Structure 1
Amino acid sequence: MGSYFTGELHHQLREDVRGFAEREVRPRVAAMEATRTVQHELSRLIARQGWIGATVAREYGGMGVGHLAKTIIIEELSRVSGAMGAMVQASQLGVAKIVHFGNDEQKKTWLPAVAAGECLPTIAVTEPESGGHVLGMAASAVRDGDDYLLSGRKVYVGNSHVGDLHGVVVRTAPGSKGLTAFLVESERPGFSLGAERATMGLHGFSFGELRFDNCRVPAANRLGAEGDGLAVAYSSSVLYGRANLTAVSLGIHQALLEETTRFCEERQRYGKPLHALANIKLKLGQMQSRLMTARLAAYHAVSLLDQGASCDAELMNAKLVNVESALDSARSAMEIHAAAGLFTDRPIERFLRDAHHIFAPAGTSDVQLLRLAEVALGTAKGSWSERLAEFVRTDPTHSDPTRAERPGPSDAECQIAVPRQLRTAVM
């Protein structure tokens, strides 16, 4: 495990993304909050850094650095802007379906464009009537010669209004074997977008509605075979969605602690810094503990994913722990700030609003708990991380070009490396 946590690549990547976020994203946050409009230009600028291609193999022009590196990218962007962290996580979630189920031609066509930042992918599963119940979807595709005609609506689609290539799961036959996935370009006739709607948080990010009215899509755009749609949806959610949303929560959590600590150092009470009060110090300690525990859960899960190990349960738990602990720390931060936290000249209320947006996607906390109960009872069905291990495993010699020229870490280094990296990460 040590090699996944201690690579110089991860340290340098964190510095690079943090520097970019401070220079390019933070100065735009106030305008994003004021206008609440989708950030097309900034989304494209971030995509051109190549970070959407974190898990895209180098043979397709991607970074090939794996899921821990992907987590660091999302985390550092989310530390400055949950909206832009969400934009990157949604795009990287859109990558999953092509990596897992795309044929050679589809990978050669789309992955280099994604890696270069020329194409922002999405995945569209949820519908107005069925919600998170995938098998209840009604949007359909009917075969018409060498094409399919898609009809229906998809809602809460991450990057709906900036996406170029939508991975759409629709019904082609009854039952659980009747779902099929397609790649739909945004310029296709019969495709349209619902109106942008104001949201509580994540201002600048779009998660809206896609509409299909006899939208003609070539059979060559089908992902896998007819009937593979359920696998496309579930595998993408489990292996990418939960990990990505975990990273957004982690970045927001880090920002909450940093801002609250700063406030406690600056604000004076009875001639001393606010943190001199015992009850305030206890809350800060609790926030620090939550963050450290959340980061351990997140990094452990994705490091297992990078190794091709079975980790569906760890990914569920990472999302659960990170979402719930970030929300708990957001409340603690608001309590410490008291009335000062209610004004928009401080970012605490933004962090609180943004954190709530991460609760539902890829399964609410109740969903994660139900699945984890099945793990405890031994009734869990299958393991996507095992089934798709060859597609998610990251070769460290490929992800870090210098590693092949250096001797690997010793057993002792591997044993002490993880806590050292995690201590560095919370600074």
Structure 2
Amino acid sequence: MHRYFTDQRHEALRHRVRDFAEREVRPRIAEMEANRSVCHDLSRLIARQGWIGATVHRAYGGMGAGHVAKTLIIEELSRVSAAMGAMVQASQLGVAKIVHFGTEEQKKTWLPAIASGDCLPTIAVTEPQSGGHVLGMSSTAVRDGDDYVLNGRKIYVGNSHVGDLHGVVVRTGEGSKGLSAFLVESDTPGFRVGEQQPAMGLHGFSFGELFFDNCRVPAANLLGREGDGLSVAYSSSVLYGRPNLTAVSLGIHQAVLDETTRFCTERQRYGKPLADLGNIKLKLGRIQSRLLLARLSAYHAVHLLDQGLPCDAELMNAKLVNVESALESARDAMDIHAACGLFTDRPVERFLRDAHHIFAPAGTSDIQLLRLGELALGRAQGDWSSRLADLLRLEPSEWPEEDEVPNEAPADPPVTVRAEGTTPTVPGQRTGPAHRPSWLARPR
């Protein structure tokens, strides 16, 4: 069904990502699950494929491939490992703030490094006492000459422990116009990352705490103008966060169907495959039906995004439908597996745990329903897809023509991985922007 929204280039890209995920990611899942720690080297290896730059214009070294391409990249990675799909979606979420609000100098400095995989960006908004209430944040930035001095704490930051460039929204004044956003490099004095706390799922992915203690940031690192912080946070969440998380849910959902049909075909009951039982077929039918609807809503929403058409409602609905349906299908899969699903030798319990992690970010299901209700009543606010349409629209000239896209994935260059937590080195890899930030120059 999704082929209505994709062409040969999309499908060639899908095959490349799928091949990579099976070859490089799947063999590491057992280790990630056992260690429950951040998988630094694999995160870097994935970044080196150039996929973080899916929506970065080719003029800045990106793919210029748009949001449909971004969605299928995340989906295919998440089908194998939702943790690594989440890593990519969090990095691509970090791209949004620079694409939407960055100056030309900021774009020239950071986007090529992000697109090449030399830089993993994040966005940090949530705080312990305010949660999803963005205006309730208390972290501050105070102007001091040519710098701003940041103080405060952020939580649930995707890619916290692998990020190189953090987009931080803090308070510079009162009210809704008192929030501003800054780019903070990971080696800035006064900045530190909290200890990684293992969570229920997404093992291998980091979403932790960032601390700012008199952290001095150049005024040139301000995104947009003072007071644009709320717009940075909301536009990133609506236009990137929701579709990205939708794609993670979609990948999990596909994995649920694949694994459950395999189990039902191989498992015997009453001298025949479990799949021959009527009640099992009904459950499989429900999973299949949900997946078809979820996929349609996901790709329809990002197709509109690539066209520069209003689609805030479709993005909200896609996140709602995909998260809820993936959870329901994972529960059905657990029912079918029964006691077999409780043990870690089968991945179905991982799918359920991972699916729960996608529920809250970028708004819970209740938040999506609340916003959709406001839309029905004619009280919708924001309309970010219209306000930023010129930055979202995929121009035909941006993405390579079909004959420029290889039908098969090229051989990956050899990767030398140093100690865990350091960057894989790839011979001949682009080294990023001409004006290299300090962390790019130091050993990693």
Global fold match (TM > 0.5): yes
Q: Following superposition of structure 1 onto structure 2, how do residues 117-196 of structure 1 map, counting pairs within 5 Å?
A: 117-196=117-196
Deviations 1:243-298 (A, max 9, x none): 00000000000000000000000000011100111000000011000000000000
**Could you tell me which residue of structure 1 aligns to residue 247 of structure 2?**
247
The runs of at least 4 consecutive aligned structure 1 residues that moved more than 3 Å come to none
Residues 1:385 and 2:371 are matched in the alignment: no
**Could you tell me which residue of structure 2 aligns to residue 95 of structure 1?**
95
Give the distance between the partners of 2:107 and 2:165, measured in 1 at CA.
13
Checking the alignment, whether the CA contact within 8 Å between 2:257 and 2:288 is kept in structure 1 is: yes
**Could you tell me which residue of structure 1 aligns to residue 311 of structure 2?**
311
Q: Which amino acid aligns with 1:287?
A: I
Checking the alignment, whether the CA contact within 8 Å between 1:4 and 1:68 is kept in structure 2 is: no
**Could you tell me which residue of structure 2 aligns to residue 417 of structure 1?**
none
1:225 counterpart SS class: coil
The alignment's C-alpha RMSD in Å is 1.5
Give the distance between the partners of 1:402 and 1:157, measured in 2 at CA.
37
TM superposition shift of 1:403: 7.8
Give the distance between the partners of 2:41 and 2:6, measured in 1 at CA.
34
Q: Which amino acid aligns with 1:154?
A: K
TM superposition shift of 1:399: 1.4
**Could you tell me which residue of structure 2 aligns to residue 216 of structure 1?**
216
2:397 counterpart SS class: helix
Deviations 1:36-76 (A, max 9, x none): 01011000000000000000000000000000000000000
**Could you tell me which residue of structure 1 aligns to residue 68 of structure 2?**
68
Residues 1:9 and 2:9 are matched in the alignment: yes
Give the distance between the partners of 1:13 and 1:93, measured in 2 at CA.
20
Q: Provide TM-score, normalisation by structure 2.
A: 0.90
Deviations 1:290-345 (A, max 9, x none): 00000000000000000000000000000000000000000000000000000000
Checking the alignment, whether the CA contact within 8 Å between 2:8 and 2:402 is kept in structure 1 is: no
Q: Following superposition of structure 1 onto structure 2, how do residues 268-347 of structure 1 map, counting pairs within 5 Å?
A: 268-347=268-347
Q: Which amino acid aligns with 1:123?
A: I
Deviations 1:384-423 (A, max 9, x none): 000000111111332132489xxxxxxxxxxxxxxxxxxx
TM superposition shift of 1:116: 0.2
**Could you tell me which residue of structure 2 aligns to residue 109 of structure 1?**
109
Q: Which amino acid aligns with 2:135?
A: L
**Could you tell me which residue of structure 2 aligns to residue 420 of structure 1?**
none
Checking the alignment, whether the CA contact within 8 Å between 1:102 and 1:224 is kept in structure 2 is: yes
Checking the alignment, whether the CA contact within 8 Å between 2:9 and 2:402 is kept in structure 1 is: no
Q: Which amino acid aligns with 2:67?
A: H
Give the distance between the partners of 2:59 and 2:213, measured in 1 at CA.
37
Higher-helix-fraction structure: 1
Q: Residues 63 and 51 from structure 1, CA distance in 2 versus in 1: closer, same or farther, beyond 3 angstroms?
A: same
Checking the alignment, whether the CA contact within 8 Å between 2:189 and 2:216 is kept in structure 1 is: yes
Q: Residues 261 and 325 from structure 1, CA distance in 2 versus in 1: closer, same or farther, beyond 3 angstroms?
A: same
Q: Which amino acid aligns with 2:14?
A: R
Checking the alignment, whether the CA contact within 8 Å between 2:164 and 2:185 is kept in structure 1 is: yes
Give the distance between the partners of 2:5 and 2:398, measured in 1 at CA.
15
Give the distance between the partners of 2:14 and 2:292, measured in 1 at CA.
17
TM superposition shift of 1:7: 1.4
Q: Which amino acid aligns with 1:19?
A: D
2:398 counterpart SS class: helix
Give the distance between the partners of 2:344 and 2:3, measured in 1 at CA.
42
Q: Which amino acid aligns with 1:95?
A: V
Give the distance between the partners of 2:275 and 2:42, measured in 1 at CA.
37
**Could you tell me which residue of structure 1 aligns to residue 38 of structure 2?**
38
Checking the alignment, whether the CA contact within 8 Å between 1:397 and 1:403 is kept in structure 2 is: no
**Could you tell me which residue of structure 2 aligns to residue 234 of structure 1?**
234
Q: Residues 344 and 84 from structure 1, CA distance in 2 versus in 1: closer, same or farther, beyond 3 angstroms?
A: same
Q: Provide TM-score, normalisation by structure 1.
A: 0.93
Give the distance between the partners of 1:282 and 1:190, measured in 2 at CA.
57
Give the distance between the partners of 2:42 and 2:180, measured in 1 at CA.
33
TM superposition shift of 1:29: 0.1
1:399 counterpart SS class: coil
TM superposition shift of 1:160: 0.2
Aligned pair count reads 405
Unmatched runs of 5 consecutive residues or more in structure 1: 405-427
Q: Residues 157 and 121 from structure 1, CA distance in 2 versus in 1: closer, same or farther, beyond 3 angstroms?
A: same
Q: Which amino acid aligns with 1:347?
A: P
Deviations 1:319-374 (A, max 9, x none): 00000000000000000000000000000000000000000000000000000001
Q: Residues 281 and 402 from structure 1, CA distance in 2 versus in 1: closer, same or farther, beyond 3 angstroms?
A: closer
Residues 1:202 and 2:202 are matched in the alignment: yes
Give the distance between the partners of 1:403 and 1:182, measured in 2 at CA.
40
Q: Residues 266 and 3 from structure 1, CA distance in 2 versus in 1: closer, same or farther, beyond 3 angstroms?
A: closer
